Amino acid sequence: MRFAGMGNLLKVLTREIENYPHFFLDFENAQPTDGEREVWNQISAVLQDSESMLADLQAYKGAGQEIRDAIQNPNDIQLQEKAWNSVCPLVVRLKRFYEFSLRLEKALQSLLESLTCPPYTPTQHLEREQALAKEFAEILHFTLRFDELKMRNPAIQNDFSYYRRTISRNRINNMHLDIENEVNNEMANRMSLFYAEATPMLKTLSNATTHFVSENKTLPIENTTDCLSTMASVCKVMLETPEYRSRFTSEETLMFCMRVMVGVIILYDHVHPVGAFSKTSKIDWHASVPR
C-alpha cells in the first residue's frame, strides 16, 4: 500500500500539533485491565461477529436477474416463484446485518460511557483504557468497511424494494407469507430506513452518539466531543511521528489508524453543535481539500 495521499488527509486536524496528546495507542496488542474487562467482554462478544458480517456482505450477489425476469413476465407464475424464493433468503441476511447494527449501537454507547465519565479527561481515559479505545477503533473501522461494501452493491436496495412491493401486493390480496413471521411489517419498515442511508452503519453510530449525549444530560457534551477529537488527534500524532509509526508491525495497521481518524472526525461532525467543518471548529478541513 502507498501513503502518498496521507499528508493532505492529516491536515483535517488543527495544525497545532504541540498541543496534541503524545502517547502511543497500541491498536495491535492492547489488553484489558481488570477495570476494563467487564465492558471489554461485552464489546468483544459483538466484535467477534464483525468479520463474518463483512464476508457475508462481500459475498452478497443479489437476485437481479430473477427479479428482472419476474417483472418482464408478470403472468409467469414459475418466474414469480423463482424470484420470490431467491429474494427471501437474501432478506433474512439483510435482517441479520440490520440486527448487528443494533448490537453495535449498544456497544458504542457502553464504550462512550466508559471513555467519557469523570473524573478523568478524554486523554487520560484513552491512555489508561487502551483496550477499550482499541475496541472503539475497531467499531469505527468495521463501520467504514461495511458502508463501503454496501455503497458498491446496488442489489441490496433493489432486492429489498422488490420484497416490499411483493409483500404489499400479497397483503392487498389478504395473503400471509411465511417470511412475514421472521420479517414482519414493523421490522421491514425499520430495515427500509436503515438501507435507504448511503452509509447505514455510520448513520447508526452517529445516532447512537447523539442519543448518548441527549440521554446523559448531566455529562457535558464536551466530554463526548473531546473524546472524539482526542482520538482523532492521537491517530494523527501516531501517523506523523516516526517513532510511533515504527512500532506498528504492518502497513495494514497504518491504514486502520487512518480509517479510524476519518470515522472519528465524521462522528465529531454529527455530534458537535457547530460540526467539524464550521469556521469556529477546531478542525481545519480546508487544508484537506486539494487546491
Q: What is the pLDDT along the chain (291 residues), one digit of tens a residue?
A: 333 334 444 444 444 545 566 778 889 999 999 999 999 999 999 999 999 999 999 999 999 999 999 999 999 999 999 999 999 999 999 999 999 999 999 999 999 999 999 899 888 999 999 999 999 999 999 999 999 999 999 999 999 999 999 988 876 455 556 776 788 888 999 999 999 999 999 999 999 999 998 999 888 888 898 899 899 988 988 888 888 888 988 899 999 999 999 899 888 888 877 555 555 555 544 433 333
Structure confidence at residue 156 (pLDDT): 98
Structure confidence at residue 290 (pLDDT): 34
Structure confidence at residue 272 (pLDDT): 74
Range of the domain at 134: 6-288
d(C-alpha 277, C-alpha 272), whole Å: 10
Structure confidence at residue 286 (pLDDT): 43
CA-to-CA dists, residue 107 to 7, 58, 237, angstroms = 32, 23, 26
- Residue 1 is assigned to a structural domain of this protein: no
Structure confidence at residue 20 (pLDDT): 62
Residues for the chain: how many in total?
291
- Residue 268 is assigned to a structural domain of this protein: yes
Let me know: does 63 contact 90? Beta carbons within 8 Å.
Answer: yes
145 residue type, one letter:
R
Q: What is the pTM of this model?
A: 0.85
- Residue 167 is assigned to a structural domain of this protein: yes
Let me know: does 167 contact 180? Beta carbons within 8 Å.
Answer: yes
d(C-alpha 195, C-alpha 217), whole Å: 30
- Residue 282 is assigned to a structural domain of this protein: yes
Structural domains in the chain (count): 1
Let me know: does 122 contact 226? Beta carbons within 8 Å.
Answer: yes
Let me know: does 50 contact 142? Beta carbons within 8 Å.
Answer: yes
Structure confidence at residue 169 (pLDDT): 82
d(C-alpha 289, C-alpha 274), whole Å: 20
Helix ranges, 35-76 (H): 37-47, 50-58, 64-72
- Residue 66 is assigned to a structural domain of this protein: yes
